[in-house]
Amino acid sequence: MDKKKFLVLATMLLSMGLIGSCRHHAMAEEEHPAKHPSAHIHMMNANVVKADEYMVSYGIETMAAHNKMMQDMKVDASKMKMDPNASHHLSMEISEENGGKKIEDAKIKIKVIDPSEKSQEKWVEWSNEMKHYGCDMEMKEKGKYGVIILFKTNDDKKHTAKFWHEIK
């Protein structure tokens, strides 16, 4: 990475509050803190992956932790579509790599492949209440899950981000 790109990325991460608290590997539920400092991807647990000229910040938490965080923040959960079968919640932000402008109008679909190689696909929606994209997922088995994020920006370009998340 050249010096200019590094400085842009460092500035963006500093402004997002990620440096010093970013984890580069997905964390297990046991490590997940009970309280969250903000609605923005719970930055203490944020992970970042690059997709073309975009940075995708994401966090995965149990539904119990997500519901408690919303309660603590006094968010009206009745305005949100909650999946009653979900065990986990994915929170996500997408921003431009250069300049850090947040993208709030992308069309996003995820595919989650569980340890037994069954998959689920979900549309991910922007939440005005939480100020991020989010969706509920079923991740009930222990093991590694492959998560593929497919998103289309308003210029009709398609982008892909991938990561692994382990449930212990």
pTM of the model: 0.71
Give the residue extent of every domain in the chain: 3-105+123-138
Q: What is the mean pLDDT of the chain?
A: 78
Given a cut of 70, is residue 128 above it in pLDDT?
Answer: yes
Q: Are 167 and 139 in contact, with CB atoms under 8 Å apart?
A: yes
Local structure of 31: helix, strand or coil: helix
pLDDT tens, 48-60?
Answer: 999 999 999 999 9
Q: What is the pLDDT of residues 148-166, one digit of tens each?
A: 999 999 999 999 999 999 9
The neighbour count for residue 113, using CB atoms within 10 Å, is: 15
Instruction: Tell me: pLDDT of 41 over 80.
Output: no
CA 59 – CA 41 distance, rounded (Å) = 6
Q: What are the tens digits of pLDDT across the range 97-126? A: 988 899 999 999 999 999 999 999 999 999
Q: How confident is the model at residue 146 (pLDDT cuts 50, 70, 90)?
A: very high
Indicate if the pLDDT at residue 78 is higher than 80. Answer: no
Please report, for residues 12, 56, 85, 123, 128, the alpha-carbon distance to residue 52 in angstroms, rounded to integers and kept in the order given: 16, 10, 33, 21, 26
Q: What span, in angstroms and rounded, lies between the C-alpha atoms of 25 and 33?
A: 16
